[in-house]
């Protein structure tokens, strides 16, 4: 992102510039509607407007002089954008809580079996590969277990935030593509945490999002690896033991 898109905020420091309607900044519970720009489909902070603006937009059928005058779009820093989003977003909270609860139940059920069957706690080393979508557990430099994975997202313990994999441009499409399904559900049900790319979060939030994706994708397990400033959360869709090469030492041959 170029420096032109940065804004200096008294509270949040230098952050990205974002745009919201005039009503949202001091409002509460006004609704939070996010635009979609095909040129920036994975935008962390899409332009946003309140429900009243959305009604006008609907009536006008497009952004024109009338709807733009009503919205009177303002520039705010991305930190303020997130605070304003939290204050104004209206959703079915009970529906979301139920989703989290049932997802945790699902994850708990599959996770014990996954950990025990594949002895996940016993491996010496893990490596994941974005290009192939694989998580490999190895011992003494020999791969032992190969897992097919999808990234869910990352928790930064530096900024105490969650970022969905789909919004992370450091990741390959292969490893993040399936996280877009969760975003679609978030858009459809209008759940803030599923529809928004980036929000204030801790490690438990990371597991909640992982559980939701695990349940929706019907994965067989989940895993988390540490990173420089937090954790990467992933779900496991398939796991298989790597066939070890047969010993071809002469002693092995002679002992037959």
Binding residues for Zn ion (CB under 5 A): 9, 11-12, 21, 23, 49-50, 53, 77, 79-80
Q: Between residues 11 and 251, which has the closer beta carbon with respect to Zn ion?
A: 11
Tally Cβ neighbours within 10 Å of residue 238: 12
Q: Between residues 11 and 158, which has the closer beta carbon with respect to Zn ion?
A: 11
- Nearest approach, Cβ of residue 197 and Zn ion (Å): 17
Q: Give whole-number Cα distances, 78 to 11, 167, 183, 203, 221, in Å.
A: 11, 15, 20, 22, 34
- Nearest approach, Cβ of residue 26 and Zn ion (Å): 11
- Nearest approach, Cβ of residue 187 and Zn ion (Å): 19
Backbone phi, then psi, for 16, in 5-degree steps?
Answer: -75, 150
- Nearest approach, Cβ of residue 80 and Zn ion (Å): 3
- Nearest approach, Cβ of residue 20 and Zn ion (Å): 8
Q: Between residues 73 and 192, which has the closer beta carbon with respect to Zn ion?
A: 73
Q: Between residues 80 and 152, which has the closer beta carbon with respect to Zn ion?
A: 80
- Nearest approach, Cβ of residue 84 and Zn ion (Å): 9
Q: Which residues pair with 235 in a beta bridge?
A: 150, 222
- Nearest approach, Cβ of residue 13 and Zn ion (Å): 8
Q: Between residues 178 and 196, which has the closer beta carbon with respect to Zn ion?
A: 196
Q: Which two tokens stand for residue 170?
A: 């450091």
Q: Between residues 15 and 179, which has the closer beta carbon with respect to Zn ion?
A: 15
Q: Between residues 53 and 211, which has the closer beta carbon with respect to Zn ion?
A: 53
Tally Cβ neighbours within 10 Å of residue 30: 21
């Amino acid at each position: 992102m170029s420096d032109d898109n940065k804004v200096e905020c008294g509270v949040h420091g230098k952050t990205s510039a974002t745009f919201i309607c005039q009503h949202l900044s001091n409002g509460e519970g006004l609704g939070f509607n996010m635009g979609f720009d095909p040129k920036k489909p994975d935008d962390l902070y899409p332009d946003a407007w309140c429900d009243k603006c959305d009604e006008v937009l609907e009536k006008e059928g497009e952004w024109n002089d009338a709807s733009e005058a009503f919205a009177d779009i303002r520039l705010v820093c991305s930190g303020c954008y997130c605070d304003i989003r939290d204050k104004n977003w209206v959703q079915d909270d009970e529906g979301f809580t139920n989703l989290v609860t049932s997802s945790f139940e699902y994850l708990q059920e599959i996770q014990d079996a996954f950990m025990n069957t594949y002895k996940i706690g016993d491996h010496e080393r893990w490596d994941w590969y974005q290009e192939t979508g694989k998580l490999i557990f190895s011992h003494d430099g020999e791969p032992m277990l190969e897992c097919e994975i999808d990234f869910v997202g990352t928790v930064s313990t530096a900024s105490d935030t969650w970022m969905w994999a789909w919004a992370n441009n450091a990741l390959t499409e292969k490893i993040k593509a399936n996280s877009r399904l969760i975003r679609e559900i978030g858009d459809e049900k209008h759940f803030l945490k599923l529809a928004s790319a980036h929000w204030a979060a801790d490690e438990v939030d990371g597991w909640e999002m992982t559980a939701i994706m695990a349940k929706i994708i019907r994965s067989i397990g989940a895993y988390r690896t540490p990173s420089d400033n937090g954790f990467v959360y992933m779900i496991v869709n398939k796991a298989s033991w790597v066939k070890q090469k047969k010993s071809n030492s002469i002693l092995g041959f002679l002992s037959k």
